[in-house]
A and B are shown apart, each in its own frame.
Chain A
Amino acid sequence: MDTITQMEKMFAPRSVAIIGASDRDGSIGHSLVKNLVNGGFEGDVFPINPRYPEVFGKKCYGSIKDIPIVPDLTLLAVPAEVSNATIKEACEHGCRMFINIASGFAEVGRRDLEWDMKETLAEYGARMLGPNVFGVYSAKASMNATFGPSVVKPGNVGLISQSGALGVALMGKTVTEGIGLSAVVSIGNKADISECEALEYLGHDDITEVIFLYLEGAKDGRRLMDIAKKVSKKKPIIAIKSGSSEKGALAAASHTGSLAGSDKIFTAALEQAGVLRALNLEDGFGWLRAMADLPIPEAEGMVIVTNGGGIGVISSDSAERYRVRMLDDTEMLEELFRPTMPSYGSTKNPIDITGQGQNKEYEMALDIALEDDRIPAIVGLYCQTATGDPTEIAEAAISSIKKSKKKKPIVFSMVGGKGIAESIAELNLAGIPSYASPDGAMSAMGALYKRYRRLKVEDEEPEDFQMDLEKIKSIIKNTWDKGMSNLTEDDCNLILKEAGLTFPSSAVAKNLEEAKKVANEIGYPVVMKILSPDILHKTEFGGVRLDLEDDEELEIAYESIMATVRNRFDKARINGVMITSMIKDATEMILGFSQDPSFGPVIMFGMGGIYVEILQDVAFRVAPISRKEIMGMIREISSYPILAGARGKNLRDIEALADAISRISYLSNHVPEIVELDINPLMAMDQGKGCLVVDSRMTIRGEVK
């Protein structure tokens, strides 16, 4: 049975049994029955509890075995300790879909109770939502199978929440905000069904047009990302992920590992999947309202209509921050908007109809903005004045929208005191998303434009490369079989060469005489690095000497490396030194990946060199990534202008960098035995001259089946 068919039993059941139903008002077992009945559920409801003859006017059964049919959905409101036995009994009766409301499981350390239930579910091929959830609401079935608010406004927003308490609060907030819900799912401990199944179902659900997701973590990030990628092509997903502080940074030996805090990976994954990530509830709800009520803009460009210069300027700043492009065709704007304002008003975007502007002027300006096809989106601002009445302004805006046959996004912000909150509520009820701050309005417009750009992007397949993966894996296996988890530089280079990356001229020298010979063949200046399987951090052990210009400097460098390393780590096995030509005129970048337990390989690219952790100018993507995504990744770093030839500097070989990232993405995805890779620095040369690997580090694990 596919996921959608299975989930249909949860979101659109024909019958529901409530084991642990209660006659006691205020108890969970009572609220579940009450909400189901009062919510208008049209299917059969079977309260089950041997203590009561009936619950909330419905006949109550002593046991699941006593009810005349096999219910599509079974709600469990029984103590944690008896959950498994109850599920087993219900499975014996034929039940296959459960919502386990009870708490007292993994969240208090009783993971064992969840393991028992999972075993039972697997034995019978049954599914379960929870435990530790507040239930499910589904507008499609008029089913409020929750112990949350009894009044829910049906609509087009699907809500998935990992937090029970926050989920209940969000449900309540949608009621006061007038946001209609198509479904609410609380996913709790995710012992079986997780956000993945819920998202897949709501993505498929006809009445859900926008999905709001609150997450604290994902057990299978890769699966979530794959599902979200598909769903976000059809409908917007807004996500709030808590725990965005750096506390969760991974402890790893590589730059990539340490910079890739779990939240950064999550953010990258959600972005790649086309999910709109809100950083707080205010933004999330603001975007939700805009997505639920408005069409997506059809082109870049927006006008601000305002009666105050101050909030106009604040909004212009916000527009830049949220990447909303303001229309700047001054002639067109002058021609269109001059009649709406006194002579001292401004037709330069923001359109300032001045404090003299009342409902008539607003309506006129909004009519023009709505009707002219050259204006794709509108932000209306109102600053309370001594003479104006906000209610009239709101009515003018509503009238303007009602008149217009054009479908374009318009958001509003009203700032002031008396009457403002009521006017905002009025606009919201009329389907014009309105906010108490100009920043909130612009943030919502920014989200609409993000969605617009997402829909414009066509998916592209990651590149395919010819790499001898068997050879790469055998190098790794050889090292692993020797009991080592870090590759020598020689082996690391071999793998990267096999992956198609390029290197400066280099050669291994076993002693000083060979080193001199090699350096003269390569040509000075050169770099000398210790070769030792025991020294992973060559620089920190004093094993690297740069910019050696002649034999004399080379001799001193050789002696200093050997003496320093022996002084610090006299048991180190030294296999010689690597002599490499010194690259000078280039930009130092970093490229690497680490295997995230939830998302798999995560690629990192950014500014490299010794200050990489301090600058933290890096971008992340979950592999594999297409060329288009790679170019976005390169442009995302703050130092991109340096690569693009800022301030008269040479343009670096961005195509070569993209090729290197693409190859590393392929390698990371096909050789899971590589746990972490750091190429630092990766030297970006002038355009047409490629990019060169100067130093790299690779950590491996045993064969991954």
Chain B
Amino acid sequence: MKKLIITSTRTHAGKTTIGTGIAMNSNMDCGYFKPLGDRPVYSKKALLDRDTEVFKEWLGLDVDPNDCSIGFEHEKIRSSCQLEGASQTLIDKFEKVSAGKELMIIESGRNFTFGSSLCMDADSLGNTLGGDIILVTEGDARLIIDKVIAAAKVFRSTDSKLAGVIVNKVSEEDEYMLDEDIIPALDEENVNYLGHVPLHPELEKARTALVVEKLHAKLVAGANGLDKRIQKVMVGALSADAALRMPAFQNEGKMLITGGDRVDLILVSLSEDTAGIILTNNVLPHPRILSKADQLNVPIMSVPMDTYTTAKMVEHIVAELMPDDLEKKELIKNLVKDGVILDKIL
């Protein structure tokens, strides 16, 4: 059985993107294990990791998501593993989900150090479960080089096997850095370069449903439009006339954040290409407006926060992968196939 431990230099670097991409291109019977969850979804008194759901759905895994992880919180994991010890729990769970598999994707916590106190960081996973470590990185060239070298030192010190580095989210204008800076620096440190995945704007865009979930917003209209992808978030502070003169306001997939009493702005935003309207301060507009939004499939959601707080919260929403987002699934499969040197990995 081939075991790949996917870790990263920092959080949200794209571990799940790379993991699913490799698995989908492997033509092998795959399994997934993520001992430390970090994308919690609480529903019907059960706690699952969203990434597990993505793997299960995209790869058609026949697995109980509860078996794919040990927990989310250090305190809870320590408490639940105290009898048999965290390492033993790790091994037991892994054996259960990996039975009969040809390839196991093992995803670490937020970054390569996360979970050290529980012996569940990337290095410990390599030592306990065995397998090749793939380090996913992104960002500025100097930071990438510094962090990769630091990580490589850690892995070498314990004889963990670092298979190499994949650079994620590389913009077209930054591609030159790969050849000029990053690859030579990795060569110098004897770290394998395993390819890169370009920055694709569609991967950075969330769907309206995710915003409703993340804000715990009350959806008051337009439930049929939740699949829309958000291209641009705007705070509705201008008058309707001024907003209409803004080119950005004409964008398809705009999401507007404004107060429920800004009837003028809400009305001019009600078009089929609007991804959603977030109404702040719990103020709702007239039911006729909600009915119009229903007709046009424009999701309208209400939150109790003020506009500033809401805008900050929306800004921090990361466009996570969702199990039912099949457009992203295909996109990732192709991007990884084209950019990652799969022969060196599988």
Q: Which residues of A contact B (CB under 8 A)?
A: 246-249, 251-255, 257-259, 511-513, 537, 539-542, 545, 548, 553, 555-560, 562-564, 567-568, 610-611, 613-614
- Name the residue of chain A whose CB is nearest to the CB of B263: A247
Q: A249-B261, A542-B216, A568-B214 are in contact. Are A559 and B47 (CB under 8 A)?
A: yes
In the complex, per-residue mask of B36-78: 1 if CB is within 8 Å of any chain A CB, else 0: 0111101001110000000000000000000000011101100
User: How many angstroms between the C-alpha atoms of A253 and B218 in the bound complex?
Assistant: 15
The interface residues of chain B lying within 8 Å CB-to-CB of A562 are 72-73, 75-76
B284 near A555 (CB under 8 angstroms)?
no
Contact between A251 and B304, CB atoms less than 8 A apart: no
Q: Does B303 contact A (CB under 8 A)?
A: yes
A555 in contact with B80 (CB, 8 Å): yes
> A558 to B216, alpha carbons, bound, how many Å?
18
Contact of B46 among A247, A539, A556, A614 (CB under 8 A): A556
A258: shortest Cβ distance to chain B, in Å?
A: 4
Q: Contacts of A613 on B, CB cut-off 8 Å? A: 218, 282-284, 302
Q: Please give me the residue from chain B that is nearest to A556 by CB atom.
A: B47
Query: With a CB–CB cut-off of 8 A, which chain B residues contact A539?
Result: 216
Selected contact of B283 from candidates A258, A545, A548, A560, CB within 8 Å: A258
Asked whether, in the complex, the Cβ of B304 is within 8 Å of the Cβ of A540, the reply is yes
A555 to B306, CA, bound (A): 32
**Which residues of A have CB within 8 Å of B35?**
none
- List residues of chain B with CB within 8 A of the CB of A610: 218
Q: What number of A-B contacts does a CB cutoff of 8 Å give?
A: 100
Q: Are A251 and B259 in contact (CB under 8 A)?
A: yes
> Smallest distance from the beta carbon of B305 to chain A beta carbons, Å?
6
Taking a contact as CB atoms closer than 8 A, the residue among A253, A258, A548, A567 that contacts B40 in the complex is: A567
Give 30 A-B contacts (CB < 8 Å), ordered by A residue. Answer: A247-B263, A248-B261, A253-B306, A254-B304, A255-B282, A255-B304, A258-B281, A512-B75, A537-B303, A537-B305, A540-B216, A540-B304, A541-B216, A548-B45, A556-B42, A557-B45, A558-B73, A559-B72, A560-B42, A560-B47, A562-B73, A562-B76, A563-B47, A564-B42, A567-B39, A567-B40, A568-B313, A613-B218, A613-B283, A613-B284
Nearest neighbor of A558 in chain B, beta-carbon distance: B76
Known: A512-B79, A613-B302. A563 touches B45 (CB 8 A): no
Q: Across the interface, which residues of B come within 8 angstroms of A258, CB to CB?
A: 260, 281-283
Q: Does B141 contact A (CB under 8 A)?
A: no
* Residues of chain B at interface, number, CB under 8 A: 38
- Interface flag for B335 (CB, 8 Å): no
B40/A560 in contact, CB under 8 A: yes
Check A614–B38 contact: CB distance below 8 A.
no
Residues of A within 8 A of B129 (CB): none
Decide if A513 touches B282 in the complex (CB within 8 Å): no
* Most chain A beta-carbon contacts within 10 A, residue among B71, B73, B259, B305: B73
CB distance from A681 to the nearest CB of B (A): 14
Q: How far is the CB of B304 from chain A (nearest CB, A)?
A: 5
Q: How far is the CB of A409 from chain B (nearest CB, A)?
A: 38
The CA of A214 and the CA of B188, in the complex, are separated in Å by: 85
Q: Which residues of A contact B303 (CB under 8 A)?
A: 537, 540
Closest to A513 in B: B79
Which of B71, B280, B282: most chain A CB closer than 10 A?
B282
Known A563-B37, A563-B38: A251·B281 in contact at CB below 8 Å: yes
Once bound together, how far apart are the Cα atoms of A253 and B280, in whole Å? 9
Inter-chain contact B73/A559, CB cutoff 8 Å: yes
- Does B245 make an interface contact (CB < 8 A)? no
Given A249-B261, A560-B72, A614 and B281 touching (CB < 8 A)?
Answer: no
Inter-subunit contact B261/A555 (CB<8 Å): no
Q: Whole-angstrom distance from the CB of A254 to the nearest CB of chain B?
A: 8
Q: A253-B306, A563-B73, A614-B218 are in contact. List 10 more A-B contacts (CB 8 A).
A: A251-B283, A259-B282, A539-B216, A540-B303, A540-B305, A542-B40, A542-B42, A556-B47, A560-B72, A562-B72
- Check B316 for interface membership: any CB of A closer than 8 A: yes
Chain A residues, CB < 8 A from B214: 568
Given known A249-B261, A542-B216, A562-B72, contact A614–B284 (CB-CB < 8 A): yes
- Flag whether B220 is at the interface (Cβ < 8 A): yes
Chain B minimum-CB-distance residue to A548: B45
Do the beta carbons of A537 and B40 come within 8 Å of each other?
Answer: no
Q: Say yes or no: A563 contacts B283, CB within 8 Å.
A: no
Within 8 Å CB of A555, what residues of B?
A: 76, 79-80
> Nearest chain-B residue to A540 (Cβ)?
B216
Could you tell me the distance in whole angstroms from the C-beta of A163 to the nearest C-beta in chain B?
24
For residue B118, CB closer than 8 A to chain A, the reply is no
Q: Which of A246, A540, A553, A568 has the most CB of B within 10 A?
A: A540
Chain B residues contacting A553 (CB-CB under 8 Å) are 45
Other-chain contact of B306, A247, A251, A513, A614 (Cβ < 8 Å): A251
CB distance from B108 to the nearest CB of A (A): 16
The verdict on B215 contacting chain A, using a C-beta distance below 8 Å, is: yes
- Min CB distance, B303 to chain A, in Å? 6
Q: Hey, which chain B residues are within 8 Å of A537, CB to CB?
A: 303-305
A678 nearest CB neighbor, chain B only: B304
Q: Which 4 A-B pairs have the closest CB atoms?
A: A563-B72, A560-B42, A563-B40, A258-B282
Q: B281–A559 contact, CB under 8 A?
A: no
**Whole-angstrom distance between the alpha carbons of A540 and B212 in the complex?**
10
Query: Which residues of chain B have C-beta atoms less than 8 A from A259's C-beta?
Result: 282
Chain B residues 262 to 294 lying within 8 A of chain A, measured CB to CB, are: 263, 280-284, 286
The CA of A560 and the CA of B260, in the complex, are separated in Å by 31
Closest residue of chain A to B46 (Cβ to Cβ) is A556
Most buried by A among B42, B217, B263, B305: B42
- Shortest beta-carbon distance from B47 to chain A in Å: 5
Among B45, B71, B220, B281, contact of A253 (Cβ-Cβ < 8 Å): B281
* In the bound complex, CA of A567 to CA of B40 (Å): 8
On whether A559 and B76 interact (CB within 8 A), knowing A249-B261, A540-B303, the answer reads yes
A-chain residues with CB within 8 Å of residue B282 when the two chains form the complex: 254-255, 258-259, 613
* A511→B75 contact, CB < 8 A: yes
Measured in the bound complex, the distance between the Cα atoms of B316 and A369 in whole Å is 74
Q: Point out the residues of chain B lying under 8 angstroms from A513, CB to CB.
A: 79
Q: Which B residues touch A560, using CB under 8 A?
A: 40, 42, 47, 72
Q: What is the CA–CA distance of A564 and B41 in the complex, to the nearest angstrom?
A: 8
What distance in Å separates the Cβ of A447 from its nearest Cβ neighbour in chain B? 28
Tell me the minimal C-beta distance from A566 to chain B in angstroms.
8
User: Digit string of B64-106 for contact with A (CB within 8 Å is 1, else 0)?
Assistant: 0000000111011001100000000000000000000000000
Measured in the bound complex, the distance between the Cα atoms of B260 and A537 in whole Å is 18
A541-B216, A559-B72, A567-B40 known; A253+B304 contact, CB < 8 A: yes
Choose among B38, B45, B75, B283 the residue that contacts A249 (Cβ–Cβ < 8 A): B283
Q: Which residue of B lies closest to A511 (CB)?
A: B75
Interface string of B211-242 (1 = CB under 8 A from A): 00011111010000000000000000000000
Task: Please give me the residue from chain A that is nearest to B72 by CB atom.
Answer: A563
Please give, as numbers and ranges, the residues of chain A lying within 8 Å of B304 by CB-CB distance.
253-255, 537, 540
A599 to B218, CA, bound (A): 31
B45 engages A556 (CB within 8 Å): yes
Specify which chain A residues have a CB less than 8 angstroms from the CB of B38 in the assembled complex: 563, 567
Minimal Cβ-Cβ distance residue in A for B318: A567
B45 proximity list for chain A (CB < 8 A) = 548, 553, 556-557
**Which residues of the partner chain A approach B305 to less than 8 Å between Cβ atoms?**
253, 537, 540
Given known contacts A251-B283, A553-B45, A556-B45, is B76 in contact with A564 (CB within 8 Å)? Answer: no
Q: What's the nearest-Cβ distance from chain A to residue B168, in Å?
A: 20
Q: Is the CB of A545 within 8 A of B42?
A: yes
Contacts of A248 in B (CB 8 A): 261
Candidate in A251, A255, A558 with the most chain B CB atoms within 10 angstroms? A251
Residues on A with beta carbons closer than 8 Å to the beta carbon of B216: 539-542
- Cα A568 to Cα B214 in complex, Å, equals 8
User: Which residues of chain B have C-beta atoms less than 8 A from A540's C-beta?
Assistant: 215-217, 303-305
Contact assessment for B281 and A252 in the assembled complex, using a CB-CB cutoff below 8 Å: yes
Q: Give the chain A neighbours of B72 by CB distance below 8 A.
A: 559-560, 562-563
Find chain A residues with CB under 8 A from B286 CB. 246
Residue of B at shortest CB range from A249?
B261
A512 to B76, CA, bound (A): 7
